């Protein structure tokens, strides 16, 4: 492997080349009313009006000819209301349809002017607004939050030089190398064309048929079958730009760069059984978690880090940096943190902001440029094209969430839903109207964006570089870099997914591909399916051992902390208030949120005074919490032991490897749930607070068969 450089960024290498009646209406203003983020809000006050400002005296009845007669065509209020309702939904995104967004800011913490002229990286402490959207990929807008799926991670930076959209995922690689295959990939993973299911799932014939025939997908499959695709929270996922980009400085010198988001709360995922039960308990679990954390003032934060390297290092690697199915391990090119993102404001309107936000990989700023990654090159075309289909107009950039917060001007005019009022006589450039004393309009600035002058040659042909031919080495690197626990989870995921495949040749083909990744992996998956193990499939390029990268493991990078987590405290009639409040205070001090849970919601007969719960037991299962505590008397424990919801509450917490704190009197409930003594099953003191900050993977063999 290439020699590991120091932890500083690589040195750049020089390269070639509504209203009310007048009496009650406030004084009119020329300026639109703006929200906290500069977005346009409806004007008006108490009076209900039409969209054009006409006050309406009746919003309950249509205009009829007599009380039981026909409705009249002239009822413009009815027509306007129904017309708007009929068109409230726009075509959902083909992928990334189910999303959650938030406003915030990006702050530069370590300027890199030597690497890039991009304004947001020039000065320490410089801040720009951002809008960030997280999403699932395969499911429709009405699907659930917690399926096994890649998570989109897209950030719109409103910089002083225009919008920069860093549009990526929570995984640093992708399924395919060339954008030409993207429609095939999406068609394969979406619900099957003849039957319209499954929704938001990859465990079906067409997906595995496609990827088994596309060996280049193998590395991404390893990530997709890992715990990365069943995250605990959007606040606890990493983000990646996926592609190799360029940074360009004032001298025109370019440096290759890969972008990484690192959550300050650390990485955390769920278990598969936990994710499945979360989908039933709260289909909006991740969306609610993001909203509640911001609403409570616990603002999520990420560090933005870069991997920078020159052409010399790129040439030394045994894989191609333009191949989106490959990553560069941190051990080869370390990460350098250049800033932080804080999400501190929820949207005012989900549709206007989260649904209408339009991300474009082609939105870049001076100092950032593209590489020749063929997947990226296709995305530059596709995203702009799809926004016109979704939002209905080329003027989608005028929607407040999409509009830059810096001045913008050009000679583009008209189009559907034109909300600006362009002025001036000239709508073309160049023009000479300044000679006639009229303003000529905007002109290209000397220091505007200029494409990096990379030399290229060769014949026009539909070909793929031979350097893209190794499809298995990095898949092997990823699998072998996981801890044994994580490897077992990957095997279990593959067994589950392939068990849903009804076509034996597809299963066999996939097993043959896995044989090129790791023999033990293929053997364990075949054994889990009860299939004979086929020989490894022929490889376009023989896989090689690339060493290990422990930083690719969630468990290796785990932060044993309660910050940002939730602790469920189960109590019932007779429970001592003092113990509950003391425990809740300790949980809060540790940075977590205590969630009080009881068989009924209000006025639980605790001692000495009644208290309310935050959640009712059947509606707040333990899957919604990161650790649980049971604060009950002997009588209360006996009552809970006869309640299947309570037994399941504790049993799931144990099966999902979470800490369980309890009063001695709770033992009868623990026995009913078959909780075994051991690490993580503790009293209510400091031991519980410490235990609640982690998962107890060593318990897993006790609670489920492992492949």
What is the DSSP annotation of 322-343? T-TT----TTTS--EEEEEEEE
pLDDT score, position 44: 54
Per the CB < 8 A criterion, the answer to whether 567 and 626 are in contact is yes
User: pLDDT tens, 269-281?
Assistant: 999 999 999 999 9
User: pLDDT tens, 635-647?
Assistant: 999 999 999 999 9
If one compares 14 and 398, the residue with the highest pLDDT of the two is 398
Per the CB < 8 A criterion, the answer to whether 286 and 145 are in contact is yes
Half-sphere exposure of 67 (CA within 13 A, CB side): 0
What is the DSSP annotation of 86-154? HTS--PPPSSS-SEEEEEEEEEESS--TTT---GGGSSTT-EEEEEEEEEESSS-TTS-S-SS--EEEE
Quickly tell me which residue has 């950039």 as its tokens. Answer: 397
Q: What is the mean pLDDT of residues 3-23?
A: 42
**What is the C-alpha to C-alpha distance for residues 674 and 677, in angstroms, rounded to an integer?**
10
pLDDT score, position 650: 98
Return the structure tokens found at 678: 């051991």
pLDDT score, position 60: 82
Return the structure tokens found at 54: 């006409």
Q: What is the mean pLDDT of residues 198-219?
A: 97
306: pLDDT strictly greater than 50: yes
Tell me if the bond preceding 237 is cis, omega within 30° of 0. no
User: pLDDT tens, 29-66?
Assistant: 333 444 555 554 555 567 888 887 778 888 888 888 88
Runs of H (alpha helix) within 148-204: 182-189
Extract the runs of DSSP E, i.e. beta strands, from 252-382. Answer: 254-263, 301-309, 336-345, 368-369
Sort strands 593-598 and 566-571 into parallel, antiparallel or unpaired. parallel
Per the CB < 8 A criterion, the answer to whether 99 and 133 are in contact is yes
> How many CB atoms sit inside 10 A of residue 522's CB?
23
Assigned CATH class of 99-171+231-398: mainly beta
125: pLDDT strictly greater than 70: yes
Q: What is the mean pLDDT of residues 210-215?
A: 97
**What is the C-alpha to C-alpha distance for residues 211 and 506, in angstroms, rounded to an integer?**
9
Sort strands 336-345 and 368-369 into parallel, antiparallel or unpaired. unpaired
- How far is C-alpha 41 from the geometric centre of its chain's CA atoms? 27
Q: What is the mean pLDDT of residues 311-330?
A: 97
Q: Which residues are catalytic?
A: 96, 169
Percent of the chain topping pLDDT 90: 76
What is the DSSP annotation of 590-655? TT-EEEEEESSSS-B--BSS-B--SEEGGGS-GGGSSEEEEE--HHHHHHHHT-HHHHHHHHHHHH
If one compares 368 and 57, the residue with the highest pLDDT of the two is 368
The dihedrals phi and psi of 646, each to the nearest 5 degrees, come to: -70, -40
> How many CB atoms sit inside 10 A of residue 385's CB?
8
**What is the C-alpha to C-alpha distance for residues 213 and 175, in angstroms, rounded to an integer?**
12
- Of the options 3.40.50.880, 3.40.50.2300, 3.40.50.300, 3.40.50.800, the CATH number for the domain spanning 566-703: 3.40.50.880
0.95 exceeded by the pTM? no
- The pLDDT-based confidence of 340 (bands split at 50, 70, 90) is very high
When computed from its CA atoms, the radius of gyration of the chain, rounded to whole angstroms, is 29
Task: Tell me the three-class secondary structure of 45-104, residue by residue.
Answer: CCCCECCCCCECCCCCCCCECCCCCCECCCCHHHHHHHHHHHCCCCCCCCCCCCEEEEEE
Half-sphere exposure of 595 (CA within 13 A, CB side): 20
pLDDT score, position 37: 52
| Sequence-distant (≥ 6) Cβ neighbours of residue 705 within 8 angstroms | none
pLDDT score, position 45: 65
**What is the C-alpha to C-alpha distance for residues 570 and 613, in angstroms, rounded to an integer?**
9
Per the CB < 8 A criterion, the answer to whether 626 and 289 are in contact is no
Q: What one-character DSSP code corresponds to residue 554? A: T
pLDDT score, position 30: 39
User: pLDDT tens, 296-305?
Assistant: 999 999 999 9
pLDDT score, position 78: 82
pLDDT score, position 2: 41
- The pLDDT-based confidence of 385 (bands split at 50, 70, 90) is confident
**What is the C-alpha to C-alpha distance for residues 611 and 106, in angstroms, rounded to an integer?**
42
User: pLDDT tens, 509-538?
Assistant: 999 999 999 999 999 999 999 999 999 999
SS3 label, residue 156: strand
Return the structure tokens found at 451: 């494409």
Return the structure tokens found at 596: 């009080």
pLDDT score, position 498: 98
- The pLDDT-based confidence of 19 (bands split at 50, 70, 90) is very low
Among 534, 474, 470, 471, smallest CA distance to 507 is for 534
Phi-psi region of 204 (alpha: psi -120 to 50; beta: other; left: phi over 0): beta
What residue spans in the chain does CATH classification 2.40.180.10 cover? 99-171+231-398
Q: Is 677 exposed, middle or buried (0-12, 13-18, 19+ CB in 10 A)?
A: exposed
What residue spans in the chain does CATH classification 3.40.50.880 cover? 566-703
The dihedrals phi and psi of 22, each to the nearest 5 degrees, come to: -55, -35
Return the structure tokens found at 434: 């300044």
Q: What is the mean pLDDT of residues 694-700?
A: 95
Least confident range of 83-87, 227-231, 560-564, 613-617: 83-87
**How many helices and strands in the chain, by DSSP H and E?**
18, 16
Q: What is the mean pLDDT of residues 624-644?
A: 97
Per the CB < 8 A criterion, the answer to whether 606 and 577 are in contact is yes
> How many CB atoms sit inside 10 A of residue 595's CB?
20
CA distances from 158 to 16, 188, 305, 597 (A): 30, 35, 19, 42
Q: Is 556 exposed, middle or buried (0-12, 13-18, 19+ CB in 10 A)?
A: middle
CA distances from 622 to 158, 278, 509, 603, 649 (A): 40, 9, 39, 21, 5
Per the CB < 8 A criterion, the answer to whether 231 and 286 are in contact is yes
When the pLDDT of each residue in the chain is averaged and rounded to a whole number, the result is 91
Burial track 265-298 (b if 16+ CB lie within 10 A, e otherwise): bbbbbbbbebbbbbbebbbebbbebbbebbeeeb
Per the CB < 8 A criterion, the answer to whether 332 and 317 are in contact is yes
Per the CB < 8 A criterion, the answer to whether 158 and 405 are in contact is yes
pLDDT score, position 17: 38
pLDDT score, position 69: 80
Strand-pair partners of 128? 106
Return the structure tokens found at 321: 């940096």
């Amino acid at each position: 492997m290439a020699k590991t450089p120091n932890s500083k960024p690589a040195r750049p290498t020089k390269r070639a080349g509504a209203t009310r009646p007048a009496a009650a209406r406030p004084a009119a203003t020329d300026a639109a009313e703006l929200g906290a983020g500069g977005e346009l809000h409806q004007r008006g006050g108490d009076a209900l009006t039409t969209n054009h400002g006409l006050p309406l005296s009746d919003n309950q009845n249509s205009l009829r000819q007599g009380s039981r007669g026909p409705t009249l065509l002239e009822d413009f209020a009815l027509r306007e209301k129904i017309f708007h309702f009929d068109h409230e939904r726009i075509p959902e995104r083909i992928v990334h349809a189910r999303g959650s967004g938030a406003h915030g800011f990006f702050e530069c913490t370590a300027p890199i002017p030597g690497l890039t002229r991009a304004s947001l990286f020039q000065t320490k402490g410089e801040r720009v607004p951002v809008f960030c959207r997280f999403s699932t990929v395969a499911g429709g807008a009405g699907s659930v939050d917690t399926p096994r799926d890649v998570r989109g991670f897209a950030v719109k930076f409103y910089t002083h030089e225009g919008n920069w959209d860093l549009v990526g995922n929570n995984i640093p690689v992708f399924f395919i190398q060339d954008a030409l295959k993207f429609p095939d990939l999406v068609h394969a993973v979406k619900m099957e064309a003849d039957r319209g299911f499954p929704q938001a799932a990859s465990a079906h014939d067409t997906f595995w048929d496609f990827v088994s025939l596309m060996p280049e997908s193998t590395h991404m499959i390893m990530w997709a079958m890992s715990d990365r695709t069943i995250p605990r929270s959007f606040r606890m996922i990493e983000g990646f730009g996926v592609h190799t980009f360029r940074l360009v400085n004032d001298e025109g010198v370019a440096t290759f760069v890969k972008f990484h988001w690192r959550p300050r709360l650390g990485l955390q995922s769920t278990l598969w059984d936990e994710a499945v039960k979360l989908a039933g308990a709260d289909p909006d679990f991740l969306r609610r978690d993001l909203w509640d954390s911001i609403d409570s003032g616990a603002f999520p934060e990420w560090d933005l880090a870069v991997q920078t390297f020159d052409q010399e290092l790129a040439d030394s690697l045994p894989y191609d940096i333009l191949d989106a199915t490959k990553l560069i391990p941190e051990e080869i090119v370390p990460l350098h943190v250049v800033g932080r993102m804080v999400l501190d404001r929820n949207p005012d309107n989900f549709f206007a902001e989260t649904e209408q936000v339009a991300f474009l990989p082609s939105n870049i700023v001076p100092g950032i440029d593209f590489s020749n990654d063929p997947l990226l090159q296709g995305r530059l075309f596709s995203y702009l094209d799809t926004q016109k289909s979704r939002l209905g107009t080329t003027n989608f950039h005028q929607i407040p969430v999409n509009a830059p917060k810096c001045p913008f001007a050009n000679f583009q005019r008209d189009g559907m839903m034109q909300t600006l009022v362009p002025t001036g006589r000239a709508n073309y450039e160049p023009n000479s109207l300044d000679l006639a004393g009229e303003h000529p309009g905007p002109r290209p600035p000397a220091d505007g964006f200029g494409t990096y002058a990379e030399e290229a040659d060769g014949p026009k042909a539909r070909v793929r570089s031979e350097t893209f031919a190794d499809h298995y080495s990095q898949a092997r690197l990823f699998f072998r870099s996981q801890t044994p626990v994580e490897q077992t989870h990957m095997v279990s995921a593959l067994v589950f997914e392939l068990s849903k495949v009804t076509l034996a040749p597809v299963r066999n083909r996939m097993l043959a591909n896995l044989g090129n990744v790791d023999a033990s992996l293929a053997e364990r998956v075949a054994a889990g399916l009860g299939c004979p193990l086929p020989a490894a499939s022929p490889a376009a390029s023989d896989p090689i051992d690339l060493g290990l990268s422990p930083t690719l493991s969630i468990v290796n990078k785990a932060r044993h902390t309660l910050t940002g987590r939730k602790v469920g405290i189960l109590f019932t009639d007779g429970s001592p208030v003092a113990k509950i409040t003391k425990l809740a205070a300790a949980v809060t001090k540790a940075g977590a949120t205590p969630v009080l849970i009881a068989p009924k919601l209000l006025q639980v007969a605790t001692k000495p005074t009644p208290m309310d719960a935050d959640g009712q037991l059947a509606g707040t299962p333990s899957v919604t919490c990161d650790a649980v505590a049971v604060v009950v008397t002997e009588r209360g424990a006996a009552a809970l032991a006869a309640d299947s919801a309570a037994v399941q509450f504790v049993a799931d917490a144990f099966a999902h490897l979470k800490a369980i704190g309890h009063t001695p009197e709770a033992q009868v409930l623990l026995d009913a749930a078959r909780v075994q003594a051991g690490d993580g099953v503790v009293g209510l003191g400091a031991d519980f607070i410490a235990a609640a900050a982690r998962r107890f993977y060593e318990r897993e063999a006790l609670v489920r068969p492992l492949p």
